[in-house]
């Protein structure tokens, strides 16, 4: 019985959230500014210098609150795009100009002919120390919307 109590007290460092089929690593025991933080991947700071010159970390997260935001405002999109979020932030096709320290990331997956737009807020030296680069929102976009963005928005980065 004592062994069962000790085992119950141990908390896993990471667990995989399979509720949406995303495979996002839940990092609840990692020291963060907000509970319910999910690690997505790592950005190449050289690429993202087009958004902000003083990026402090390469880690990208999404909070449970932002996942719920996506599910509420773009029904059905999160389940479809979540497997592509890591690729979107790590290998963007385009980064478009947005608000200060925020970039609009466009990523196309040829496997399923899916196009996603991700809003990424990068962490800079003027932000609170414990925060990370953070996905604010993400959703699937149409081919015509993709073309509209490329033709009418300011392109900060284009994948070669």
Q: Among candidates 127, 149, 37, 45, which has minimal Cα distance to 90?
A: 45
Specify whether the CB–CB gap between 30 and 37 falls below 8 A.
Answer: yes
Q: Give the closest residue to 107 by CA, choosing from 122, 96, 121.
A: 96
Write down the pLDDT at residue 95: 98
Closest listed residue to residue 120, CA positions, set 60, 37, 56, 32: 60
The whole-angstrom separation of Cα 32 and Cα 28 is: 8
Report how far Cα 156 is from the mean position of its chain's Cα atoms: 18
Q: pTM above 0.85? A: no
* Contact predicate 157/92, CB 8 Å: yes
pLDDT in tens, the chain (160 residues): 444 433 333 333 333 343 444 434 344 333 444 469 999 999 999 999 999 999 999 999 999 999 999 999 999 999 999 999 999 999 999 999 999 999 999 999 988 889 999 999 999 999 988 889 999 999 999 999 999 999 999 999 999 9
92: closest CA among 62, 119, 56, 113? 119
User: Tokens in use for 113?
Assistant: 């002919």
Cα 100 to chain centroid, rounded: 17
């Amino acid at each position: 019985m004592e062994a069962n109590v000790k085992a119950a007290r141990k908390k896993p460092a990471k667990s995989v959230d399979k509720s949406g089929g995303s495979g996002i690593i839940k990092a609840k025991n990692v020291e963060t500014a907000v509970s319910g933080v999910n690690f997505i991947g790592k950005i190449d700071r050289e690429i993202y210098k087009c958004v902000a010159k003083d990026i402090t970390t390469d880690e990208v997260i999404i909070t449970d609150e932002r996942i719920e935001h996506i599910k509420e405002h773009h029904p059905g999109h999160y389940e479809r795009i979540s497997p592509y979020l890591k690729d979107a932030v790590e290998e963007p096709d385009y980064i478009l100009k947005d608000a200060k320290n925020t970039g609009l990331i466009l990523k196309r997956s040829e496997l399923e002919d899916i196009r996603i737009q991700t809003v990424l807020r990068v962490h800079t030296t003027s932000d609170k120390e414990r925060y990370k680069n953070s996905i604010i929102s993400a959703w699937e976009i149409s081919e015509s919307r993709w073309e509209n963005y490329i033709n009418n928005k300011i392109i900060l980065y284009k994948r070669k």
